[in-house]
Structure 1
């Protein structure tokens, strides 16, 4: 069974290094969610029913509940692997979102942005002579860039979790909850 990725050391430098942030998310997702089918298949004991040699002579669709995973194995996988992995990624994204919304006194480009904004205010635009002279692309603060990346990664995270949860509920049995409800319930149990 896979193990959740260990949480990284959360610092503003980690968040502003978008390569490190995205690498952590990619590795964590790859270990658990991208290989969810293999993780779930590992929970099945293949020899429990014995091997039938005639089963390889004809291709037949498998019965719907033949490959169900035991409830105890599913429960263990969800509580010890899947939800902790999701929680670590949520913690990282929440921390980096708080960094993105905080003031950034160490921004190396803040002086350059101020100079560009001052120049933009002084600029005279004659669109008859140059129709493109009115365009000006101000530099984004690194907190704004980070906020955009966090929004994008949260969207990716929602898609990945919905896909993974769909496979888990299909293989483990019917579960009426969506992934958000199940994760919130797990969080509540963990806090007790």
Structure 2
């Protein structure tokens, strides 16, 4: 069960310039191609997302200070940071998670079809529990095995959506403190995504 879909994402240029260090000598990734296999075994995606999250949300106060120039006002500083760094970063992260979400949906459809099209003969005839008391358990284990990868990807997507929601909410609060307090930065991000698709 493999999908042919893939999408390539590249970290924003200014993120690549910073000297980021990670524990356990984790390699610094700059470009990643996302496939179904990488959604099922997301260790590389996790590394890439960790780099992106660290490069923007984790150090947002330092990032905003880097944009502070004596001649520019804070409004300009914030707008440049949002458009050049933060929103492209968020968009890449959202794109990776959405790709895996779509793959999970497709995996579920494919597995459901496999079960319904082939009928019970594909997983063996239904055996009376009095003849083979383990038959029902074996059928259940077989079905669980077929759905395991789908469940794994679905759980990974849900977990990462939750992480993103926490990070973007925290960043939104910091932006309101340091930039324009009456702006809805999350709504502005949604508009940025529409304009840049």
Report the TM range for the smaller structure's normalisation: 0.5 to 0.7
Paired position in structure 1 for 2:10: none
**Cα distance per residue 1:137-185 (max 9 Å; x no partner):** 7445201111111011101100000101111121012233151x11112
Structure 2 residues without counterparts, runs of 5 or longer: 1-12, 17-28, 115-119, 131-136
Structure 1 residues without counterparts, runs of 5 or longer: 50-67, 125-132
Matched, 1:187 2:179: no
Paired position in structure 1 for 2:57: 33
Per the alignment, in what secondary structure is the counterpart of residue 10 of structure 1? strand
Listed as ranges, the matches of 1:6-21 within 5 Å are: 6=30, 8-21=32-45
Larger radius of gyration: 1
CA distance in 2, matches of 1:172, 1:15: 36
**Cα distance per residue 1:31-83 (max 9 Å; x no partner):** 111111111122224xx49xxxxxxxxxxxxxxxxxx9621111110001000
* Residue from 149, 160, 167 that aligns with 1:160: 167
Paired position in structure 2 for 1:130: none
CA distance in 2, matches of 1:121, 1:161: 53
Greater helix share, structure number: 2
Tell me the TM-score normalised to structure 1 length.
Answer: 0.65
Per the alignment, in what secondary structure is the counterpart of residue 3 of structure 1? helix
Indicate the RMSD between aligned Cα atoms, in angstroms.
3.5
**Conserved? CA contact 2:175–2:181, under 8 Å:** no
**1:7–1:105 Cα change, 3 Å:** farther
**1:94–1:105 Cα change, 3 Å:** closer
Paired position in structure 2 for 1:57: none
* Residue from 101, 104, 116 that aligns with 1:100: 104
Matched, 1:176 2:183: yes
**1:173–1:141 Cα change, 3 Å:** same
Paired position in structure 2 for 1:3: 15
Per the alignment, in what secondary structure is the counterpart of residue 8 of structure 1? strand
Higher relative contact order (CA 8 A, sep 6+): 1
Listed as ranges, the matches of 1:36-55 within 5 Å are: 36-45=60-69, 48=70
